[in-house]
Amino acid sequence: KQLIHLGCPEEKLHHIKYGVDVNQFVPAEAKREQQFISCGRFVDKKSPQTTIEAFSKLLQKYPDTKLVMVGDGPLLADCAQLVESLGIVNNVDFKGVLSQDEIIPLLQVSTAFVQHSVKSKNNDSEGTPLSIIEAAMCGLPVISTNHAGIPEVIEHEFNGLLGDQNDTDAMTSNMIRLIENPGLVDKMGRSSRDRISKKYSLEQYIQQLTGILESCISG
């Protein structure tokens, strides 16, 4: 829609859903921990501060819950200061930059993936976050926002829970709901894996992209 608005002819646009390796990102049989995880750069459009603020409210009811945050970026120092000011240093684990092989085991034992994506002040926004697709492929429910391409991947009440941008209370409520309903976590996790396997596999992505390239070559 943005490209059309900027003047790109619609007939030149192709929407291809990129994918991930269904054999690499897999659920585990390990017991889930009372832990949420987020993976991504610490930048405005991912609003990591909002995730931390929502999580801190959760701790008032479930003080033993953990939040694992993977990644680096310009807002990391600010987020570390926020965690310290909220008095939740023992509950939030900043992992820094990790490889996929290091991230997958963390996904597999977490209750859910969390990311509070927003449109930033300079109008930067997400496309469809790859980290959300990877988490869903690992069988995690996703707690996020009705932003950009996220609702295409995560259907509210089916394989995750979505709230409005900048609605901290909604995110807190969604996290509490999953903590209190392990059966719902398992159900949404299975739905995530099934949905992503069918629509966002790497094999499908390569086939679609190859088809477009071949059609261009043939004229």
The pLDDT averaged over each successive group of 10 residues in the chain (219 residues) is 91 88 90 95 97 98 98 98 98 97 96 96 86 96 95 96 97 98 96 93 92 91
Neighbours of 18 (CB within 10 A): 15
Structure confidence at residue 163 (pLDDT): 97
Structure confidence at residue 16 (pLDDT): 87
Structure confidence at residue 126 (pLDDT): 86
Q: How far apart, in Å, are the Cα atoms of 24 and each of 19, 66, 81, 187?
A: 12, 25, 35, 21
Structure tokens at 166: 């900048």
* Rounded CA separation 87/187 (Å): 33
Structure confidence at residue 30 (pLDDT): 78
Structure confidence at residue 197 (pLDDT): 92
Interior/surface letters 47-69, b for 16+ CB within 10 angstroms, e for the rest = bbbbbbbbbbbbbeeeeebbbbb
Residue pair 143/171 in contact (Cβ under 8 Å)? The answer is yes
